[in-house]
Amino acid sequence: MKLKTLLLAAVCAASSSLVLAQTTPKVATPAKTVKPAKTVKTEPPVAGDAKTLSYGSGSGAGALLTREELRACLKQEESVRTRLAALREQRQPLDKDKEGIAADQLALREQRAPLDDLRRQADELGARMKAFSAKVEAWNAKSEEFNNNDRQGPRFDRQRAEIKREHEELGKGQKELEDAKAKLTADSQAAVKAYNDKATALDLRAKEWNQRNEEWNRTSRDIEAKRQDWVDNCHNRRYREDDETAIRQGK
């Protein structure tokens, strides 16, 4: 979630602004969980042969498995089931973390309100400084005109005193605006840093979640490939019951 730093432009004649941009991190969709076919044993009659059973959910029409082939099929089926159970356990914390990230993203968007208020204050301060700049220009013109007239008398003394008083008022106004600018700049920098720190941390969480989720999806696809291989080589195949008994006994 990359963010542009919120900036308080130098407040001068033009109005200032606060700029903040945010992009919401994309969260990948989990792949569908694969399900290995259940092993259903049936006993079709096979003339002239030892008792046979059917591997998988079919009728047992496939070719008869040798003992080693049956051993491999049983081992592969157990591996798929074990890995699938572990994969399902990993899905719940992933989904929970995803919900937490989404909630924090929403909360972060709601925290933009104070930043918008700072932008409004910056615009207002910019307008005040623009008006103040016009007053300074008017006073400079008035002072220059007075200084260019070498006149004496009570009326000009009053004008001189008025110009001096206006100069003092402008000095006070300038000090107030500079103090307001310094405070607004400090407040903006602190608020933006806090916001962007949260946004950066949230961005890292979303990135890490996407990596974990993609790893989960890769594992899911690998399990599905192994399951499909089991289906191709073992499903609906017949095998000798004696071979199964021997394998279960470790022979």
- Condensed to tens digits (0 to 9), the pLDDT of residues 179-220 reads 999 998 888 888 989 999 999 999 999 999 999 999 999 999
pLDDT over 90 at 17, yes or no: no
Distance between CA atoms of residues 153 and 178, nearest Å: 38
Instruction: For residue 107, give the nearest of 173, 219, 195, 215 by alpha carbon.
Output: 195
Distance between CA atoms of residues 77 and 95, nearest Å: 27
Distance between CA atoms of residues 239 and 241, nearest Å: 6
Contacts of 98 (CB under 8 A, 6+ apart): 27, 209, 213
- Condensed to tens digits (0 to 9), the pLDDT of residues 50-94 reads 687 877 665 666 788 999 999 999 999 999 999 999 999 999 999
Supply the Cα-derived Rg of the chain in whole angstroms: 40
Q: Which DSSP state fits 47?
A: T
Spans of all domains in the chain: 3-24+33-248
Distance between CA atoms of residues 205 and 211, nearest Å: 10
Tell me the residue type at 168: E
Q: Can you list the alpha helix ranges (DSSP code H) found in the chain?
A: 67-110, 113-147, 154-233, 241-248
Distance between CA atoms of residues 105 and 202, nearest Å: 7
Q: How many CB atoms lie within 10 A of CB 45?
A: 7
Q: 3-24+33-248, what's its fold?
A: Substrate Binding Domain Of Dnak; Chain:A; Domain 2 (1.20.1270)
Q: What is the pLDDT of residue 60?
A: 62
- Flag whether the pTM goes above 0.75: no
